[in-house]
Amino acid sequence: MRTTTRPAQPHGCLGVQGALVTGASSSSVRDLLATWRNDGCNRLRERFQQAVDEGDLPPTTDAGLLGRYVSTLAFGIAVQAASGIGRDELQSMADAALEAWPPF
């Protein structure tokens, strides 16, 4: 939350916002940003799988789905921050999302 809403800094995330405004002539930039976002999602998947393997998450947890869920939430928060939504409201959204977190 703090990263996307720092005072005196552009709100949001260049990796998310930048890909939304590219045209056909910038497809290489769009592709690079998509790769960057997917890499982050894959790293989350790997970490969640490690948590499953170590018993920190239930064995029925879909690590890939959970990684995509967290990534999507983070990207959405970045878009909302760039739209001017404040830190408190964004934190409330994150808190609501955590209520759907897998049970332990």
Q: State yes or no: pLDDT of 24 exceeds 90.
A: no
Q: Tell me the CA end-to-end span of the chain in Å, nearest whole number.
A: 25
Q: What HEC string does 20-53 produce?
A: HCCCHHHHHHHHHHHHHHHHHHHHHHHHHHHHHH
* Confidence label for 95 from pLDDT (cuts 50, 70 and 90): very high
* Confidence label for 34 from pLDDT (cuts 50, 70 and 90): confident
* Confidence label for 44 from pLDDT (cuts 50, 70 and 90): very high
* pTM value > 0.85: no
Q: What is the rounded average pLDDT of the residues 24-42?
A: 84
Structure token digits, residue 58: 């239930």
Give the Cα-Cα-Cα angle 20, 34, 94 (nearest 5 degrees).
75
